Structure 1
């Protein structure tokens, strides 16, 4: 059987650290029959700075045996509210994942699997790979719950912020209007979609998602 790894970077959302700070994260949906993955479907959210960390770790762990593709560059004029800039970055992040997933050397790296298939922060990923946690890499992956892609709560979240960024976070002023949904987060339906349904939908509409 031909092994396929399909990955999508999608659904950019503005997240608030606190009253003044915000950043964008992206949903990574993975669907595969590859023997490198014990978990065949998964969904996590990651921000741009975490992609930067991942590339650095993979490059260091590969001992320069391969040259990894580049991430979309940082833009000092990057705006969380600029739809075209966000879309271009998102496409660049997906292209990066598609390319690195073609390397068996990279596929054997535990950092990649925890990045793609666990909810752990990058500091927790490093601790887990180093054996400094009470759980193993496999346990962290398997215990990552399959949450729904969209929910009523997500749709009601106020994500209307106005700010610029040099990467994917910045100092922001929150508008007075509440309970608005960011243009980046408009959904065609308020109905929730489970992981299987979302991945099947992507398989039909994203023929370029295979790595």
Structure 2
């Protein structure tokens, strides 16, 4: 039986939040969502990140992960596509957002999926899905690690940096701290930890850790 200690416990916390309507033109619009990630897992070279993705990109991600895993993992389902989905229906948007978060929470529990570079670029880079595919295939001038590291957020230098976060921030605040996404993400992490909704990767074997580590470089 493996012992469970604070030094071996690794946490990945993910949130899907802040739905926003984006307009391509006068006639076409869609909703995208902010994906916030906070982790101390060795599977991720970047410990705090924030990107925005739309539903169709989640569909792409699921298809890609299923193909790359060679059917060795049964992926969770996404919230179903609703032909009557309305950008003006707050309940539908909220239900979809919760479904997308549940999907990410479940796939982040799989060591095999955590080794997939497509997942890392989806969660921690600003690349479009076509550029993600090109990057993973080596058809870009930048590597997967470079795409992640240059996606807009720096790492915190120490734990002390994390202790100065204001937990009173929300998406509508105009304060300087609240405009900093790192502060908002850490605030979410503290709140989520209190609700014990983090994903615990306790007990991952050294072989699985090595696989994770190689997938994020």
Q: 1:102 and 1:114 mapped to 2: Cα distance? A: 17
Q: Is the CA contact 1:98–1:209 (under 8 Å) kept in the aligned structure 2?
A: no
What TM-score, normalized by structure 1, do the two folds share? Answer: 0.78
Q: Which residue in 1 is equivalent to 2:174?
A: 190
Secondary structure of 1:146's match? coil
Other-structure match for 2:23: 16
- Over residues 107-164 of structure 1, what are the superposed CA-to-partner deviations in whole Å (9 max), with x where a residue is unaligned? 00000000000000000000000000011000100111129xxxxxxxxxxxxxxxxx
Pair 1:205-2:191 in alignment: yes
Q: Structure 2-normalised TM-score?
A: 0.76
Q: Which of 108, 120, 124 in structure 2 is aligned with 1:117? A: 124
Q: Which of 20, 44, 54 does residue 51 from structure 2 map onto? A: 44
Matches within 5 A, 1:1-211: 1=7, 2-146=9-153, 187-191=171-175, 192-206=178-192, 207=195, 209-211=197-199
The structure-2 alpha-carbon separation of the partners of 1:67 and 1:115, relative to structure 1 and needing over 3 Å to count, comes to same
Unaligned runs of 5+ in 1: 148-185
Deviations 1:61-83 (A, max 9, x none): 00000100000000111101100
SS where residue 198 of structure 1 aligns?
A: helix
- CA RMSD between the two structures: 1.5
Report deviation, 1:26.
0.1
Equivalent residues, number: 173
**Cα deviation, residue 203, structure 1:** 2.2
Separation in 1 of the partners of 2:185 and 2:196?
13
